[in-house]
Structure formats: C-alpha cells, structure tokens
Structure 1
Amino acid sequence: MIRTLFAATAAWLLCAAALLAAADIREVTSPGGITAWLVEEHSIPFVSVEIRFEGGTALDAPGKRGATLLMSALLEEGAGDLDSQGFAAARDDLAAQFEFDAYDDALTVSARMLTENRAQAAALLKSALVAPRFDADAIERVRGQVLSIIQSDALDPNRIAGTTYDHLVFGDHPYGSARYGTAESVAALTRDDLIAAKDAVMARDRMYVAAVGDITAEELGALIDDLLGDLPATGAPLPPPAEMDLGGGVTVVDFDSPQSVVVFGQKGIRRDDPDFFAAYVLNHILGGQGFASRLMNEVREKRGLTYGISTDLLPMDLAASWQGYFASANEKVAEAIAVVRAEWARAAAEGVTQEELDAAKTYLTGSYPLRFDGNGRIAGILVGMQSEHLPISYVRDRNGYVEAVTLDDIRRVAARLMTPDALRFVVVGRPVGLPAGG
C-alpha cells in the first residue's frame, strides 16, 4: 500500500499544474453545515485533505507559551484506544500520512489517504482530533524534544537574530516570542494546559477545509461531518492586533563568530490592502528574486559583502511586516547595512525601472503554476485562499493582478510604505564599527 501511495504521488506531480489550470474548484457545504473547497481528480486513487484552524500559537494562554505547539506535536502520539506505538502502526498499515503543526496564526492538519482505505484512515484521524490521549510518557518524550530545540536555538545566531527582532518589534504580543516557548514555560506545562490549548484553537468557528483528489462532493461532505463535527463549536477569542515598535536603528547582540547575522525590517502591508500587489512586485524587485534583485546586485555582486540577501512581505493575521535577512563578515557588516539603507531610500524616492518591472512580471507570472506541484500543495493553497478571504476565481485571476501593476503604482507604494529611517536592524555577531546594544 505504501508503494502504491508513493507511485500515485509521482504520477500526480506530473500533472498537477495542468490540473489546476483547468481545475473546477467547487465550494462544498456538508449536510452538517461545514464548508470546504474541493478539486476532484479521479485518475489517481488517493485524496489530500487540508484543515487550518485560525489562531495558532498566538492563542497560547498567558504564562503558557509553547502549549499550542507541544499539543499539536502530541496529536499523533496516541488517541482513543491506541497508544503512541499503536497509533503509528495503524496509520502505517493504512498507508496514510498525517501531519500536524502550529504556527503564529494557524494550527494545520494535513492528511493523505488511499481511496481504498479512506474510511478507516479518516476514522483514525478523527480520533487524533477529538480524543488525543496526551499520555504522560508521550508528553515527557515530546517535551524533551521541544526543550532540545529550544536549547539548540539559543546557540543558533539565525534564531537569536529572529527572536530578538520579534521581541523588539512586537514586545509582549504573542508574535514577540518564539512559538516553541521558553525552557521554563515548556517545563511547567501540564496535561490540563494541553487540553485547554486544544480547546482554544481546534474549534469549528475558526476552521478552513480543502480536499483534492479521488473524492466526490457528496463523499467529502460526509467525511468532514464525521471528521470535524464533534469538535467544539467555538474556540478562544483571537488576540488583539499587534502594535509594532519600529523606531529605526541597530541592535547588536554579542555572539562569538567571524560573521554577523542580520535581520532587518519595517512595517509591511496587509494582504487585503488595494496596494498589496504593487508592494509584492516591488519587494520582488528589491530583494525577492534571488541573484536578479537590487539588493543582491548592490550588496553581493558589486561589493562582495554577503553571499546572499533577501526580503519578504509578511502579512500576518494580526500585523504586517516587511523583513530582510543577510549574513556578512564582521568587518563588512556595517558597510552592508549602509548599502541596504541607501537602496531602501533610492527605491522610496525613485521607484523602479520599466525593465525591472517587466522582468519581475515575467518571473512572477511564469513561476506561479509551479506552486501547484501536488494535491497536498494544492489543498494547502486552497485553504490559504479561504483564510485570506480570496474568491475561488483568484487562481485564474492572480496573474492578471500582477500584470496590472504599473510604474506609477510602484512609485506610489514605494513612497507610501518605504521608511529608510525607520528600518530596524538586529545584528548577531561581533561587527566592527557597530557598538553592542542600540
């Protein structure tokens, strides 16, 4: 059965992009009132189901940081009458695959199951969602794994830079601390805390569902009613929007290393902002297109100050950030920061060229279909579209939004958003010419 599933996966990868181009994405409402998006594809005998619960680790209770992530890691560690080993054996016997994870804004459940075993696999997944055991031995084992990650992150300059930046920018908001929690908070978590975390996030009022593969609308309706109908009706209220403290400047964290890691950023733009696509194209030109980006050209190619530099728009549910990353030798990092600031200021004042805009459009529209490289990926994209309140037609219309961006749009958005003086840099290392603190 496992070999069958892998063969099905390989075949699906060959036709996924073509499938989506002609896909009939349907909105399905189950008899119990649960909404899902569906793409039927009956040539391969398996289906992917993706579930997203809004809120994620941002719903950790005060003093319980890390509870949602630890809870999500334990969902497969025994459920119903099956302990951890029994659950794993049952899943493997069915050639099913389940993945659970928790992020700042969402807890995600990804499931893949063969058509011949779909009923049994769905029943097993349901037990993990509604009746996880949270056995003491499993809690301690997974807690130990999380504590090991926390310990490792404390010695990783990339992680230190990211968590320092987040704390400076977001403060006491959940976005301001690592989703894993701290060694102290994780060590103190109890089984009751995990049950409370599950009830807070895994509820029907905050879920989005998609399925892609060998299943009909009627079959999907019955499956999701049975799978999700017994979850609590409502979860915990979402936290308030995050206030971003970005006053500019450089913060140095001392770390014994021959190079410095740098995270930098400013306020970004919400996904539902009318100017989002202009900002998206602008970011691609500035730092999002690998070796062709302005920052790569100025910081790496012309001056040799880094191996790589990139920027991303991060429109989270409760805040919008625009962040970048690079690493540079300690004696070169001050110059690299100066170049980044100068390029930020140049884009804010001048926008971009027509040649840059045309090249960005060609890349962004041409690479878009490559995202749909499997039914699991497609299901994840459909859930993401729902959570961002995009219409089903977005898959067909998205490239048109990119093509519609003009030079005037870029100039307007660059002048509106880009604030070189407010860029906040966090440097982890021993940079020459940049004092510690800041």
Structure 2
Amino acid sequence: MKRLLKSLATIALTLGLLLSANAMDKPTTWTTEEGASVYYLNLPELPILDLIIALDAGNFRAGDQHGLASLTASLLVKGTKNQDEETLIETMEGLATSITAGSNTTQTTIRYRSLTDEEVLTPSVDLLLEILKSPRFDEETFNREVAQIIDAQKARLDNQNSLASEAYYAMLYPGQHLGSTSEMLVESLKKLTTDDLNAFKERYYHSNNAKIIIVGDLSLAEAKTLANRISETLGTGEAQPAIDETPLPSKGETKVIAFDSPQSRIMMGHPAIDRFDPDYLALFVGNHVLGGSGLTSELMMDIREKQGLTYGIYSYFAPSFLKGPFTISLSTTNQDVDHAISETKKLVKRFIEEGPSEEALTRAKNNLTGSMALDLDSNMKMASALLSIATYQLPLDYFEQYADNVNNVTREMIQAAFKKHVDVEKLSTVIVGGYQETP
C-alpha cells in the first residue's frame, strides 16, 4: 500500500514537470448511446488516469431542499450496498485509488484517480461502478453528516467573513438559490431523510444528464470502453430543463450587521454576468488590473499602499450558468469605513471611465498568460480545464488559443465591458463589524 501511494506521489510530481511546458492538446469528444458527453485527452507519459463525472445535479436542482445535493454527493462515497464506509475506505487504500464527490450550485462532480496498471485499474474501475450503482446511504452516516453540517453552520455565526458573505448574497439574490442562508439550510436538513437522497440520485444521476472527462494513459479504444461502462451504469433518465434564475436589478442598498470587532468587513457589488457572456474575457482581464492581481492591483496600490485604509482589498467576477456578481471585498477599521467605501467607489468609477493604462494592461496579460502552464500542470488540472470547456460549451482549442485571446483584449474592450456591466451607483453594500452609521 505504501509503495503504491509513493508511486502515485512520484508520478504526480513528474507529470507536473512534463506538462508545465506544454499547452493542452485538442481533446477528442463523443456522445455515448445513453447520452453522456465524453471529453478525452490522451496523456501517455505516465501510468495514471484522472476522470471526472459531472452531473447536472447541483444545489440549484434541489429547490427548497437546501443541502440535499451536497448530502447526496457526500454519502455517495461513504459506503455501498456491499461495503460499509470503513470497508470502502480500506478497499480504495488497497488499490491506491481516490474517489471523491461534491456538489456546488450547478453541478455534482465525482472525481476518480487510479494507476493504469491493469491489475490495479480493473478492480478500481469496478469499485467506481459499484459506488455509482449502489450507494449505501446509511442512516447512521446520514445522521452524522447532517449533525456536522448543522454544527458548522452554527459556527458560521461567529465568523465575521461568513456573516458578511451570507448577508451579501442574500441581499443580491433575495428569494433565489444564490441568496439562501444558513438558517434555511439548517431548517431544510432537519426535514431530510435518506429517502430524499435516493430520490434525488434516481432523478438526476443519469448519463443524459452527465459529462465524462477522461485524462491520462488510456488509448482511445480503452477510453471508449470505460465511458460506455460508466454510461451504462448510470442509465438514462428524464431530461431536465435549463438552469434559469434571473436576479432582480440591484438597488444599491446598504446593510450593517453589528459584530464585536475593531475592524469591519465590507462587501459591495451587484449581479453582473453569466459565463456565456461575450464580454467575459474583457472583464476578466480588466479585473486583473483593477483588483485581481494581488499587491499590484490598482485597488491595492491605492486603497492600501497609498491611503493605508486596509491590509487587503480585491475584486472579482463570479459567473457560472447564473448571473454571478461583481464583488469588491475589504476590511478596514470601524472609523474608516465610510472613507474606504467612498475612495473605493471613486477608483472604480475612474477605472470605468478611463480604463487601464497600457503599461498595467501589458503587465496583466503577461501575468495571465505566463501562469497558464501552472494551471495545467497535472492530470487533474487538465481534467478540470476540460470540464470547463464541456460545461460552458467553449471551443475545444480554448486553452490553445487562450494566450492569443488574452493578448487581443484592448483597453477599449475593457472600458466598454465595464461600462456595460458595472454600475458604481448600484453597488449594494454589506458591512459587518463595529461600524456605527452616521445619523
């Protein structure tokens, strides 16, 4: 066992060195008979396989049964009909195989890693299929997981950053899934049963609701055999409607939450774009200059270095299938809150009007294109990149063309995109701390 684990670690390190200098090749794609979309990339340098099964079974699909999608994913890998949780862990360890599952807003992902030596791969794949076909959903394990999540949610009430984030999203997305709260999650969890997990799996864990990403030392024929076995195990199910949750227009509100702290946490922003928006790249590159590049960003250089109002400030866009927000986040002393917010808004407004300097834009492009090798320096990172291509229907050569696309972004494109999608007057603001509003 220790020898196998050591082999995996050595292989992962060596693979990173081999891949770091190479762009991603164009993947091969096909659709299985049951309807699963497959994306395959052959990396024969080392005997390792990484696989992702992505299902349109995220938290959004659970409706008002908050926590159901995440619980289903979590318990999926905690026992099968033939193996309890402890036995399953021992089986995976014996095969040096990793199988994990998790859920976010829009997807459930099952991630699998194994050596491709036939003596290991054959029983390892059989184990994956057993997990997909017959999870145990044990009552005792279910109750333990629910209790842990509830305890974690209670702990969030003592965390300033968590309070700010929850209140911020609730303000931006009232009555919608992105705006759900810890209280809503806890109340939902208390009502869930293992029957709900089985029903959720039966409804959403199907091939025609899945994308299969295969990266590693498998031939095309072997990859097709593997994809077919997974697809047949999942079977077909009812087609699901497209995810659609349109946020309400931002009103530029401010909410203050009292929290015993010498500093206040500030989050401000408004719903902006989904990942399919044609302005995504211009906004991404522009934000790298504005607030996404750490100490060298304009927000950090001005609000922190020049004015000394914070230790850290950053901005980001968070698009997915849904219109995610443009967000600015910082902390400052309670007495400096009003001044920090005012100065931040002034800077963002100036950035929208003037755009980045050519020097700053060139620096951002060099940083973004130069870091691409590190973003694709492992099997699993390659698989995750392919999942992005599959999920957001990007061109198959997206990462091959990434550097050229980034370098083609102009100041004018950034200005136009920010003017269209960011409105300083409509930034809603959440302040959590000892700040006292001025009467």
Structure-2 separation of matches of 1:434 and 1:277: 40
Taking a change above 3 Å as real, the CA distance of residues 185 and 266 of structure 1, as seen in their structure-2 partners, is same
Taking a change above 3 Å as real, the CA distance of residues 79 and 235 of structure 1, as seen in their structure-2 partners, is farther
Q: Secondary structure at the match of 2:223?
A: helix
| Residue pair 1:31, 1:221 contacting (<8 A) in 2 also | no
Pairwise CA distance, 1:269: 2.4
Structure-1 separation of matches of 2:163 and 2:239: 32
- State the AA in 1 paired with 2:371: S
- State the AA in 1 paired with 2:261: S
The size of the alignment, in residue pairs, is 433
Q: 1:255 aligns with which of 254, 259, 266?
A: 259
Partner of 1:69: 70
Q: Verify: 1:58 aligned to 2:60, yes or no.
A: yes
**CA shift digits 1:75-122 (9 cap, x unpaired):** 111113111111111111110011211101111111101112112112
Partner of 1:79: 80
Unaligned runs of 5+ in 2: none
Partner of 2:346: 342
Q: 1:40 aligns with which of 23, 39, 42?
A: 42
Pairwise CA distance, 1:279: 1.2
Q: Secondary structure at the match of 2:162?
A: helix
Structure-2 separation of matches of 1:288 and 1:431: 26
Partner of 1:98: 99
Q: 1:165 aligns with which of 161, 164, 168?
A: 168
| Residue pair 1:51, 1:383 contacting (<8 A) in 2 also | no
Partner of 1:313: 317
| Residue pair 1:202, 1:235 contacting (<8 A) in 2 also | no
- State the AA in 2 paired with 1:425: T
Q: Secondary structure at the match of 2:394?
A: coil
Percent identity of paired positions between Structure 1 and Structure 2: 27
The 10-residue stretch of structure 1 (318-327 or 307-316) with the greater mean CA deviation from structure 2: 318-327
Partner of 2:145: 142
Q: Verify: 1:360 aligned to 2:364, yes or no.
A: yes
Partner of 1:205: 208
Pairwise CA distance, 1:25: 2.1
Partner of 1:404: 408
Structure-2 separation of matches of 1:236 and 1:400: 36
Structure-2 separation of matches of 1:369 and 1:54: 29
**CA shift digits 1:329-350 (9 cap, x unpaired):** 2122221111111112111222
Partner of 1:3: 6
Structure-2 separation of matches of 1:71 and 1:307: 40
Pairwise CA distance, 1:312: 1.1
Pairwise CA distance, 1:59: 0.9
Q: Secondary structure at the match of 2:335?
A: coil
| Residue pair 1:9, 1:374 contacting (<8 A) in 2 also | yes
Structure-2 separation of matches of 1:22 and 1:78: 36
Structure-1 separation of matches of 2:168 and 2:57: 22
Structure-1 separation of matches of 2:70 and 2:257: 27
- State the AA in 2 paired with 1:101: G
Q: 1:325 aligns with which of 326, 329, 335?
A: 329
Partner of 1:301: 305
Structure-2 separation of matches of 1:137 and 1:3: 34
**CA shift digits 1:28-81 (9 cap, x unpaired):** 44566543222212221110001211241011133x111111111111111131
Taking a change above 3 Å as real, the CA distance of residues 32 and 221 of structure 1, as seen in their structure-2 partners, is farther
Q: Verify: 1:122 aligned to 2:122, yes or no.
A: no
Pairwise CA distance, 1:186: 1.0
Taking a change above 3 Å as real, the CA distance of residues 135 and 434 of structure 1, as seen in their structure-2 partners, is farther
Taking a change above 3 Å as real, the CA distance of residues 350 and 122 of structure 1, as seen in their structure-2 partners, is same
Pairwise CA distance, 1:324: 2.1
Pairwise CA distance, 1:206: 2.6
Q: 1:17 aligns with which of 17, 20, 41?
A: 20
- State the AA in 2 paired with 1:360: A
Partner of 1:380: 384
Q: Secondary structure at the match of 2:399?
A: helix
Structure-1 separation of matches of 2:286 and 2:394: 22
- State the AA in 2 paired with 1:420: V
Pairwise CA distance, 1:307: 1.1
Pairwise CA distance, 1:427: 0.9
| Residue pair 1:69, 1:180 contacting (<8 A) in 2 also | no
Q: Normalising to structure 2: TM-score of the pair?
A: 0.94
Partner of 2:276: 272
Q: Verify: 1:395 aligned to 2:366, yes or no.
A: no
Structure-2 separation of matches of 1:180 and 1:104: 17
**CA shift digits 1:177-204 (9 cap, x unpaired):** 1589522211221111111222343222
Q: 2:222 aligns with which of 193, 203, 219?
A: 219
Q: Secondary structure at the match of 2:289?
A: helix
Q: Verify: 1:371 aligned to 2:372, yes or no.
A: no
**CA shift digits 1:232-266 (9 cap, x unpaired):** 42355455323234111321111111111112112
| Residue pair 1:134, 1:191 contacting (<8 A) in 2 also | yes
Taking a change above 3 Å as real, the CA distance of residues 136 and 95 of structure 1, as seen in their structure-2 partners, is same
The 10-residue stretch of structure 1 (246-255 or 263-272) with the greater mean CA deviation from structure 2: 263-272
Q: Secondary structure at the match of 2:25?
A: coil
Q: 2:196 aligns with which of 193, 197, 210?
A: 193
Structure-1 separation of matches of 2:184 and 2:20: 38
Taking a change above 3 Å as real, the CA distance of residues 59 and 382 of structure 1, as seen in their structure-2 partners, is same
Partner of 2:294: 290
